[in-house]
A and B are shown apart, each in its own frame.
Chain A
Amino acid sequence: MTEHLKQSISALLDDEASEIEVHRLLREFGDDGDLKLSWVRYQQIRAVSQGYHHLSETQHLSLHESISNAIHEEQSHEVAPSQRPGWQRQASGFAVAASLVVAVLVGVNLNQPNSASVPGLAGAKTSTAIDVQRVSTSDEAFGPVSDTAFSEDELELHELDEVKQQQLREYLMRHDRMSRLNNNARTVNYQPKSGN
């Protein structure tokens, strides 16, 4: 168990953990008994501070295990991811990737006459227009997705400045993490405009 993870649970206890930390904890928590023990002890510190201490550490761990076992015997609320319709799986990944597309386009200067290749992207001009499909999703956490179509004339890629490069790197890392967490997600499909 890393100190970093423990610091994350300390922050989670205070509702100050970031979304990525929550993802990481959900991934690591079940397998790490020491992490759970630390959490229980942090809770005990709080319970003593706020005057509601009652059970011992062992009792709390035992209680949590009983509740956890009971819950895991219950039926899941949603169908398993593999049983979801294909468009739903794609929608989840698409919504994540849509944010990435937006981030890339933020770095695109559509009005500059001079063009240069974008780091990591081949060619100064794209010969393929991107047509992003609208996929309806009931997942409110990801927000609405808008239709966007770009013609060849509009798309002219330029080198990103340092700040935008850093933003893009952060988006890419975040997307990568979220994609790995959601095994059934696929990135958005880029469909060439007809005739290309």
Chain B
Amino acid sequence: MTEESSTDKQLVERVQRGDKRAFDLLVLKYQHRIVGLVGRYLRDQDEVQDVTQEAFIKAYRALPRFRGDSAFYTWLYRIAINTAKNHLVSRSRRPPDTDVDVDFADGAYQESLSDMVNPENSLATDQLEAVVYKAIDDLAEDLKVAVTLREFEGLSYEEIADVMECPVGTVRSRIFRAREAIEKKIAGIEKG
């Protein structure tokens, strides 16, 4: 992600005009990433959640001063990193020696995940991964290609449309149907 998303821009402007629901959408959009990012610094799950919450609250309070000089998510990541580091300092633990680069932090970091999850969570994580990968594998070819290009390769709808030689609307529909199919498979995990 290197460009400011127009959706983010819309939502940020709404929040700055007083619409808190718009911030709810921003939280949901970035919550997973921020949890993962904070998890690079903290091992305890409760702490990760607390610090994530604190980071979002700080971001909300600071939003009137956000001028859009950087992308929203970049700005949010900086807040999250600083909040996590401050938390470590306040608990008299050393933060990491080097700052975590935003772009690097956005990438895969499975090694750190295995450090911080407890055995129960590890099992749940493995189970979820297995279900998701199997579900993707079971998809019809056109849905599989569309969702793979989107989720694993990060291509835009327009780029995927070029690759698959179909309209953007078709790409959008295929990705949605793929997610629906995968969602059905993972729906039972929590209850299981």
Q: Point out residues on A near B: beta carbons under 8 Å.
A: 6-7, 10-17, 19, 22, 25-26, 29-30, 36, 38-60, 63-64, 66-68, 70-72, 74, 76-81, 139-141
A79 to B17 CA separation, bound complex (whole angstroms): 8
Contact B32 A60 (CB under 8 A): yes
B41 at the A interface (CB under 8 A): no
A67 to B129, CA, bound (A): 26
Q: Choose from A12, A46, A47, A139 the contact partner of B25 (Cβ within 8 Å).
A: A12
Question: How many contacting A-B pairs (Cβ < 8 A)?
Answer: 175
CB-nearest residue of chain B to A41: B183
Q: How far, in angstroms, from A38 to B180 measured CA to CA in the complex?
A: 9
- A79 near B32 (CB under 8 angstroms)? no
Query: Once the chains are docked, how many angstroms separate the CA of A43 from the CA of B25?
Result: 12
- Residues from chain B with Cβ under 8 Å of A71 in the complex: 20, 23-24, 27, 56-57, 60
Q: Which of A42, A47, A63, A80 contacts B49 (CB 8 A)?
A: A63
Partner of B151, one of A50, A66, A80, A139: A50
Q: Is the CB of A53 within 8 A of B176?
A: no
Q: Determine the distance from Cα of A13 to Cα of B156 in the docked complex, in whole angstroms.
A: 11
- Report the minimum CB–CB distance from B77 to chain A (whole Å): 13
A7 CB, min distance to chain B CBs, angstroms = 5
Kindly list chain B residues whose C-beta atoms are within 8 Å of the C-beta of A7. 172-173, 176
For window 23-39 of chain B, which residues contact chain A by CB distance below 8 Å?
23-25, 27-29, 31-33, 35-36, 39
CB < 8 Å neighbour of A76 from B20, B53, B157: B20
Contact A77 B32 (CB under 8 A): no
* Contact (Cβ within 8 A) B22 A26: yes
Query: B97 an interface residue at 8 Å Cβ cutoff?
Result: no
Whether B63 sits at the interface, judged by CB under 8 Å, is yes
Q: Which secondary structure characterizes the binding site on chain B?
A: helix
Across the interface, name the chain B residue whose C-beta is closest to A21: B7
Q: What are the residues of chain B within 8 A of A50 when measuring CB–CB?
A: 108, 151-152
A6 & B60 in contact (Cβ 8 Å cutoff): no
Cβ-closest 3 pairs across A and B:
A51-B108, A52-B36, A78-B18
Selected from B8, B18, B124, B151, the residue in CB contact (under 8 A) with A56 is B124
| B25 engages A25 (CB within 8 Å) | yes
Contacts of A39 in B (CB 8 A): 28
Which B76-91 residues have C-beta < 8 A from chain A? none
- Please give the distance in Å from B122's CB to the nearest CB on chain A: 11
| Interface residue? B117 (CB, 8 A) | yes
Q: A92 to chain B: closest CB distance in Å?
A: 9
B186 near A19: Cβ-Cβ < 8 Å: no
Residue in B17, B32, B45 with the greatest tally of chain A CB atoms within 10 Å:
B32
